[in-house]
Structure 1
Amino acid sequence: MNEKPLFSIIIPVYNSQKTIKRTLLSVLNQTFSNYEIVVVNDGSTDSTLNVLEEFSRYSQVTVINQRNAGVSAARNSGLQQASGEYVLFLDADDWVDDDFLMIFKQNLEAWPTESIDLMVGNLNDGRVGKVSRAGFFSNEDIPYVLGELEMSDNIGYLHNKCYRRQILSELNLRFIEGISMSEDLLFNLKFFSCISNFLVTQGTPYHYEDVAGSLSKQKVHYSELKVRKQFLTTLYDSIVEKYQGSNLDYLLKGISKRVLALDMQIVTAMYHSSFSPADIAQEINEIKRGKYSKGIFILLNKNEKLKYMIMNLNTITAYYFLYALYRMRAF
């Protein structure tokens, strides 16, 4: 391909021999043709590499092979190789409709006078809620829409977003390696803290495969949760500081919801890590003293509401109630 691609699609792959063919065929069937695919084989031990060799004959496809280092390292390798004006990320067990890229291209054309930093599509996915607003947002409009992305959980996903590569390069923005969850959210929060505008579209024809045993369904260790909270609070603070002159109420409520849920996850992880009752009681007291937004309780899911009610009991009572749930394998 002589023409510089408009889009670079990065696909990290690990032991995906059963699904990667469908993923790649869905991308190669796009109605918009100016794109490249960067596939990073992250040390697969099955027949994934054989499948990828079949697709390496396509001019749009570049295959990178590396030792197994995790999905974040694989995406970072893809970012090093990407040359498109915009970057998108796919997973090796998902697929897209043939107008996936055309929709992003048409949205760029709809705002010809703007230099769009990011495009966000509403995910048609049961895991997330809908964002009520669509259009181009900048300056004082950003905090409320960020609040909607946070409340709906759209903010944590890569797959409905299209990133301007120049910004990624100038910031040297990469995925944090060595953590197993929330790397997508941390990447997005850093990007949102540095951009001046973004575009929300009505939909994204992206299909997510709910794989049993995926990282999102696995328990996370206490130490990693604490590291995650440190990164999250730092990034949230930078976003709040950037927009401190705007109405932040809705965004702050979304941040409170996520931080409270994480705080409760940290407490319950302590039971799995065999912390002393005194240490767990101290963490429970931190939650009881936490400054969370008013009305946050109704935003929690059923499991989180139960934990929150328990943790607001007498600390010793809360400890033993949670211990009983732990022994029952309720978390």
Structure 2
Amino acid sequence: MFNMKKPLISIIVPVYNSQNFIEQCLKSILNQTFTDFEVLLINDGSKDKSGSICDSYIKDNRVKVHHKKNGGVSSARNLGLENATGEWITFVDSDDYIHLDFLKNFCESINNKNDFILQKVVRFDDNKSNEIISYLDTEMDQINFLNNYSLHPYYSAPWSKLLKRKIISDNNIKFDPKIAFGEDALFNITYLKYCNSIKTINKVGYYYRDTPNGLSKINFNFENDKYLFHKIKSKLLEYVPENTDANKKILEKQLIYVCGRVINSIYAGKKKNDLTKTSSLLKDFFIENEYIIYHLYRKSKGLGFILSCLLKSKQIFLADKLLKHIIFR
């Protein structure tokens, strides 16, 4: 039986209602200076012309189109992972585009030890552009990477990264469809556990379009954010145990953004709230994470230290009052 040569890289593009941008995205992919790749376009139930635009590119034998019922970006990326055949995986959002040397930059850093390769990102809109993710040319282990880079949404996004498909498939790593925000951070933290060496590249390869309806524009949601916090922390604790001050600093750095989201989602912009409910939330969630709370508010004129002490001593009523003062002042 004739076996077609598998591509070195699979590019997974989740597509949803992006008819205005998808062609720029696809042209930037298909015009790459490095050509040993496949493109998996996952049309996630688009209601505009995105699906038919994707189909029009099937004439290029590197392009494979999958149409599915709308299920969210996580389910779309997971379908891409299930059908990818490349040795390496990268993701591109359908309203973004990539530099002509994006794949070439990655391939120059592929060796026997690097498991995770990342390059710089520029954010742009109709009026301006600026670099939002910067890297030096360096290789590092997990701990050094976690010490240098946090789980801010830009750094935790799946795009601008190259990952080994074998690591993903061997460890059944998927995007969690239960959450609508931070699923990429959880995916990356889970993947990072199995990486021996992480390579960062001092070259701009990815252009992120800042649009009002972009994939990352998600409002606060308590259940989502609480679930995300616990999942990320549990994954981190598998290889960064909470047993030293140095490790706690890593956990602070990685969890501070999600922790802030949880606090904001508890109060949801309301100065008045059900203290009984809030007390339960604070008791169940924050007392064991008081050092992260302190880190979050450490620059608030000593209020972070006071809040940390209140949580340690389970003074929930006063902690609630102080949180409201910090949030609504």
TM norm. shorter chain > 0.5: yes
Of the three residues 266, 277, 280, the one matched with 2:278 is 280
What's the counterpart of residue 121 of structure 1?
A: 119
Query: How far is the alpha carbon of 1:258 from its aligned partner?
Result: 4.3
- Measured after TM superposition, the shift of residue 52 of structure 1 is 1.1
Q: Equivalences for 1:213-252 in 2 at 5 Å?
A: 213-241=213-241, 249=246, 252=248
Structure 1 residue ranges without an equivalent (≥5): none
Q: Which runs of 5+ in 2 are unaligned?
A: 124-129
Q: Which residue of 2 aligns with 1:30?
A: 32
Match of 1:130 in 2: 134
Query: Aligned with 1:208: secondary structure?
Result: strand
Q: CA deviation at 1:317?
A: 6.3
Of 6, 17, 20, which aligns to 2:19?
A: 17
SS at match of 2:239: helix
Q: Structure 1, residues 252-285: CA drift from partner, whole Å, max 9, x if none?
A: 4242144344334323322349851133245457
1:71-128 alpha-carbon deviations (Å, 9 max, x no partner): 00000111111111100000010001111111111122xx4xx243111223345584
Contact 1:287 1:311 survives alignment (8 Å): no
Q: CA deviation at 1:319?
A: 4.0
Question: C-alpha deviations, 1:275-296, integer Å up to 9, x for none?
Answer: 5113324545765774426983
- Contact 1:120/1:160 (CA < 8 Å) preserved in 2? yes
Q: Counterparts of 1:202 and 1:153 in 2: how far apart (Å)?
A: 20
1:263 to 259, 263, 273: 259
In 2, Cα distance between equivalents of 1:296 and 1:41: 41
Q: Which residue of 2 aligns with 1:187?
A: 187
In structure 2, the residue corresponding to 1:55 is in which secondary structure? coil
Structure 2 counterparts to residues 295-310 of structure 1, below 5 A: 296=295
Tell me which residue corresponds to 2:291: 292
CA distance in 2, matches of 1:294, 1:266: 11
Match of 2:78 among 59, 76, 79: 76
CA distance in 2: counterparts of 1:106 and 1:248, whole angstroms? 37
Structure 2 distance, partners of 1:221, 1:306, is 28
> Contact (CA 8 Å) 2:294, 2:307: kept in 1 or not?
no
Q: What are the residue-to-residue correspondences of 1:32-111 with 2, within 5 Å?
A: 32-108=34-110, 111=111
Does structure 2 retain, via aligned residues, the 8 Å contact 1:160–1:204?
A: no
Partner of 1:148: 148
Amino acid at match of 1:271: Y
Q: Work out the CA distance in 1 between the residues paired with 2:8 and 2:278.
A: 51
Is residue 129–residue 153 contact of structure 1 (8 Å, CA) maintained in 2?
A: no
Q: In proportion to residue count, which structure has more helix?
A: 1
Paired with 1:59 and 1:42, the residues of 2 have a C-alpha distance of 21
Q: Which residue of 2 aligns with 1:211?
A: 211
Matched AA of 1:60: R
**Corresponding position of 1:164:** 164
Q: Which amino acid aligns with 1:296?
A: H
Deviation at 1:311, TM superposition (A): 5.4
CA distance in 1, matches of 2:94, 2:221: 26
Distance in 2 between residues matched to 1:41 and 1:33, nearest whole Å: 23
Give me the identity figure in percent.
Answer: 26
Rate the CA distance shift 1:322–1:135 in 2: closer, same or farther, 3 A.
Answer: closer
Maintained 8 Å contact 2:19/2:50: yes
SS of 1:38 mapped into structure 2: strand
